[in-house]
Amino acid sequence: MSTTTTLEQPKTGTWDGGNEPMKASYGKLMMWFFLLSDTFTFGAFLTTYGLIRHRHNAYTGTAEDFTFSTAYWPIPEKVFNAFPGFHGVDLPLAFVALMTMILILSSVTMVLAVEAGHRIDKNDVQKWLLWTILFGSTFLACQAWEWSHFITGSDQGMLMPDGTRFFGANLAQNEYGPVLFADLFFFITGFHGTHVFSGIVLLIIMFITTVNGTFQRRGHYEMVEKIGLYWHFVDLVWVFVFTFFYLV
């Protein structure tokens, strides 16, 4: 009745299970992979932008003589040169510079919130989350202003074939240049703005949960870290949108 059982020693290698090979939790990894898939979405926008821009003529004259025309792609600093409260003053890219600074600053306050989470410092997490929500909302408000200005248009507008004047831009008409320029503006900045909006909603949920002390009882603030990853991604996308839409 002797039975021989050979007990197999469990494997203990990095990829043999029972541990976290990447030293990151499931949720954090999935957030990374989601962001990777989102990169594809914005990559598609970037490709579309590159192709459409290639199909249009570039403006060849000097910047001083530039006028809006549907014959060539406009110079961005001539389109985006308005600032709230300074009607008629030519301030090229000043407002978008301000928006960029606000978004980078919101990213910094987000890292500070994550850092406070590492120290299990509830008050600091609350404080920095609130700053991030504030800066994020400010960015969104700026974008709303930018959109409404773009849609309302300049004082002179564009002379239509039937003698009337068209002001601003929509998906079918555009006084600043080719129609597709306006379409891409609406789609790319709009898609980014939607991401910012979702981020703010998530941050507000984080703030409420922190105030309720849920993370404090749980013993860690990893959820804030995951939302932080998303928020930095939104900032990252803006860095690219800014370069390709406003600078190039």
Partner 1 sequence: MAAHSHNAHNEQITGEIPKPQTKGIWRVFIILCVLTAVEFAFAFLMEPGTLRNVIFIILTIFKAFFIVAEFMHLKHETKSLIWTILVPCALIIWLIIALITEGSFYGDSVFNYFK
Which residues here bind partner 1, judged by CB under 8 A?
21-25, 28-29, 32, 36, 39-40, 43, 46-47, 50-51, 54-55, 75, 77, 92-93, 97, 100-101, 104-105, 107-108, 110-112, 115-121, 124, 213, 216-222, 225, 228-229, 232-233, 235-236, 239-240, 243, 247-248
* Bridge-based pairing state of the strands 158-159 and 72-73: unpaired
Closer residue to partner 1, CB minimum distance, 36 or 160: 36
d(CA 110, CA 196): 13
87: number of CA atoms within 13 Å, CB side?
A: 5
CB of 163 to partner 1, least distance (A): 31
- For 130-209, strand residue ranges (E) read 158-159, 165-166
CB of 126 to partner 1, least distance (A): 13
Closer residue to partner 1, CB minimum distance, 56 or 149: 56
Give every CB contact of residue 142 below 8 A, 6+ residues apart in sequence.
Answer: 95, 98, 99, 102
CB of 152 to partner 1, least distance (A): 25
d(CA 38, CA 239): 15
Closer residue to partner 1, CB minimum distance, 97 or 204: 97
Closer residue to partner 1, CB minimum distance, 63 or 171: 63
d(CA 85, CA 87): 6
- For the chain, strand residue ranges (E) read 57-58, 72-73, 158-159, 165-166
CB of 164 to partner 1, least distance (A): 31
Closer residue to partner 1, CB minimum distance, 102 or 158: 102
CB of 242 to partner 1, least distance (A): 8
Phi first, then psi, for residue 134 (nearest 5°) are -60, -50
